[in-house]
Structure 1
């Protein structure tokens, strides 16, 4: 997404294909997840949520494209989670305890993410990933549409369960309780990992160094581990409310796992670390002795 295609026509064609794929995936998930769900004005609530997720991105894209700025990109994604989760609660005829809990889980996560990204944008001023993309309206639109798909797929489990038929909902049983506990563990791990890394980077003595203390001594990417655990917890909480095609909601944790471990998360950071520190003996020792994702429980002792 950050590398320009060889020619302008090919770049436009590639962007159109990516936009079409993102919209088709969103539509298919909306169709499956809407089966057996509550409707508003004859339209399934989950379908409304997915359509709104994409619409919000396009609405914010327009002034952003005119100003050629990516300043509101990350924040818009976080706000979308919050706005739609609140909207579903307000639209739901009879929101139950699970609906309120799921909405709270998504909103708390999004508030934390949004504030974290807002601080990062304020400090950085601009995002180098968009330097070339924002000069092409179609390529820039592609990133916003893909963000709409990211929001929809990530929040699918929570939004489908909130919009499930009120008469067919299961009670808030043990599996949902387990889900809440799992979500809380994930949040704690992610927040602690991010705080530790922020403090590490704030210390001038650590300039151009890699972090290997705290949770980062047990996993090379503990924040991503926490993120995955969060969405597994959301899915477990939502699971008792699902039936039939609504089980497409499992795409939520699977999508997060795929995204972070195979696409834009760990692979990019590992490649960047290898390029920067790959010839250093201390980094090689850290890399070879520290799990890439799942933190080890024991303390590693050198030698």
Structure 2
């Protein structure tokens, strides 16, 4: 297992460095967004042949990780294509001075490599699980729920943004009526599902901090504060939307008292 962890560390660092080189050629640092999902798929693919667990468990873990990762990569690439650089990266460039590339590589690309490798630990340990039991089936069920919520939430937002009549409006229907970030919540469920696939062994169960870290990142990070601050300024109804809608877990919307 130690050899596999060393291998995935090297592969992740090499892949992130290559992605940074592509980003420099494209002059688009948001290239890392596309790599994020593909990076997890790569770790799963590298881990698969080195696992000692049952073939069914290894195939399921690899397939679920790759399907999730490729879908997310395609979605983010299409979302960013033809648009200006992501404000998060542009802000780093503006503040970095003469050599923004070094700062972005260290603060963004290397940091994402560390997070990606750490979050993917359940996938790596699941490959050497002992069996496909109750927790594995539960993991598949949780993954399916999360994947459905994430995919549907992204599609609802894509259709909403594609309609010119919705310019400046707030999406508060469908899944977005119950949570301001159904895609983030679904993403967290996916990783709790993958964690459950690793729970057939104590070392796998010990990777619980990986889905905890992913959930914390999704609920408190990934640009959410900056995004919501911007939307408060640009969309008049967003403050009320925040007041009545859960920020993460899907819940019935609150009834606001008229002021």
What residue is the counterpart of 2:186 in the other structure?
Answer: 226
Counterparts of 2:200 and 2:54, CA distance in 1: 15
1:247 Cα deviation (Å)? 4.3
Q: Is the 8 A contact 1:98 1:238 kept in 2?
A: no
Structure 1: state its 5+ residue gaps: 1-36, 38-42
SS at match of 1:239: coil
Q: 1:146 to 1:302 in 2, by over 3 A?
A: closer
For residue 210 of structure 2, the aligned residue among 252, 255, 273 is 252
Structure 2: state its 5+ residue gaps: 94-98
* Total equivalences in the alignment: 251
TM-score (norm 1): 0.74
What residue is the counterpart of 2:241 in the other structure?
Answer: 286
Q: Higher relative contact order at CA 8 Å, sep ≥6: structure 1 or structure 2?
A: 1
1:301 Cα deviation (Å)? 7.1
Q: 1:285 to 1:76 in 2, by over 3 A?
A: closer
What residue is the counterpart of 1:106 in the other structure?
Answer: 65
Counterparts of 2:215 and 2:115, CA distance in 1: 12
For residue 159 of structure 1, the aligned residue among 111, 124, 128 is 124
Counterparts of 1:132 and 1:205, CA distance in 2: 30
Q: Which moved more, 1:72-81 or 1:198-207?
A: 72-81
Q: Is the 8 A contact 1:61 1:141 kept in 2?
A: yes
Highest CA radius of gyration, 1 or 2? 1
Q: Is the 8 A contact 2:244 2:253 kept in 1?
A: no
Q: Where in structure 2 are the equivalents of 1:85-234 lying within 5 Å?
A: 85-92=44-51, 96-124=55-83, 126-131=85-90, 133=92, 135-142=99-106, 143-162=108-127, 164=128, 169-234=129-194
1:109 Cα deviation (Å)? 0.6
Q: 1:160 to 1:94 in 2, by over 3 A?
A: closer
**RMSD in angstroms over aligned alpha carbons?**
2.5
